[in-house]
Amino acid sequence: MLAGCAAEPARNAPEPEPCLVTSATDLSCAQGEPDSGGQGASGAHLHDYWGGQPRLTLTPVEASGGGLLCSDTTTVMLLRPADGEAIIQGTGTVEATLTFPEPGPLALGATVELWVKTAADVEAQPVGPATSGETVTLATTDQQNDLPHQQLSAWEFHVVVRSSEANCFQYGGQARLALELVRGTQAIPLYPGHPDVWGSAVEKPLVRHEGAVTFFLGGGVNMCLSAHCPWWPVKPHDGAVVPYDAEYVVVQVEHVDQLPLRMRLAYHGADTRQMTELEPEADTGATRTYRIPVTGNGDGPYATQSQWEFFLIPDNGANAYHGEYVLTATVQRAPRAA
């Protein structure tokens, strides 16, 4: 009986506070450092990036676009939150304001709409007419908000032109997007310790993409006669990620034909959308191999889809290209100590 009484306070002891993360780049909780507090890497994480504020203003972003519309709808401009900013956990509503400085996205016989893709969507969904200077309030949940540690938002805001005309016509313009995040009433969910996505593997596939390209650039007109044009990114397959603790991403670009003109590689990681052009580590003539260090540009620990993108650029700034290629990318980690 005495032993039972002595053990009672231990059973009623409060649970330790979860480790608190206050910025997307803070990985101290996952590392289990002695001064990280709470339950460290083995316990739940609380990702609270609000700093006690009820509202957060994101950096305004701008875009421009134009071309020839011969279909019912087309995305004139794509706007996303700035590098390093996201629709963070705990957001209850997003206040989005589009403004159209001259020239606006106007076209004869067409209407302009706002479409939005949240982090939970595969494709953008229509919201309504896009009116310059009008604020649209979008309700959101933590399932639709960006995941913790994400430095590039998965949210997209599309300025879409819808045509009622059967004939093709030109469109174009500029847009500016301002975003305000409003804290919701729900508690920010706890996330478990960072998962081990590797298991026993030391390498994981990211993408294999086969392309056949014919394009012409110049004179203010870009024409591409293929299913994948050089100014469109090659993205990792669905569900593939570049783990934040990876060592390298290795990319091979194999030119199926032996034309003198070949393709160079540029990319961006999960920390910025600014492209970096790469020099090959090896070049056999038919195949160019690139090795990209993963140092702060990997996907977040909870990511379910990579934010990395690869771009192929014609050699020597050429304004015409025809050829076939295969792009293969894998991600590698350093071997673990026995």
CATH of the domain at 265: 2.60.120
100 and 212 inside one domain: no
68 and 83 inside one domain: yes
pLDDT band at 65 (very low <50, low <70, confident <90, very high): confident
Task: Please write the tens of the pLDDT for every residue from 254-275.
Answer: 988 756 567 789 999 999 999 9
Task: Please write the tens of the pLDDT for every residue from 131-162.
Answer: 899 999 999 999 999 999 999 999 999 988 87
DSSP, collapsed to helix, strand or coil, labels residue 136 as strand
Give the total number of structural domains in the chain: 3
Q: What whole-number distance in Å separates Cα of residue 100 and Cα of residue 157?
A: 14
Does 236 map to a domain? yes
Q: What whole-number distance in Å separates Cα of residue 35 and Cα of residue 49?
A: 20
The per-residue pLDDT for 137 is: 98
210 and 327 inside one domain: yes
Does 198 map to a domain? no
119 and 167 inside one domain: yes
The per-residue pLDDT for 268 is: 97
Tokens of residue 295, six digits: 């140092």
35 and 78 inside one domain: no
138 and 223 inside one domain: no
Q: What is the share, in percent, of the chain residues with pLDDT greater than 90?
A: 54
Q: What is the average pLDDT across 166-189?
A: 86
74 and 38 inside one domain: no
The per-residue pLDDT for 173 is: 80
293 pLDDT higher than 70: yes
174 and 66 inside one domain: yes
43 and 58 inside one domain: no
Does 70 map to a domain? yes
37 and 70 inside one domain: no
- CA-atom Rg of the chain in angstroms: 24
Tokens of residue 281, six digits: 């580590």
Q: What is the mean pLDDT of the chain?
A: 83
pLDDT band at 282 (very low <50, low <70, confident <90, very high): very high
DSSP, collapsed to helix, strand or coil, labels residue 287 as strand
Does 95 map to a domain? yes
37 and 96 inside one domain: no
289 and 226 inside one domain: yes
218 pLDDT higher than 80: no
Pairwise pLDDT comparison (234 vs 13), residue with the higher score? 234
Full-model pTM: 0.82
pLDDT band at 79 (very low <50, low <70, confident <90, very high): very high
Range of the domain at 120: 54-183
DSSP string, 219-234: TTEEEE-SSS-TTSPB
User: What H or E segment, with its residue span, contains residue 128?
Assistant: strand 125-129
Does 5 map to a domain? no
227 pLDDT higher than 80: no
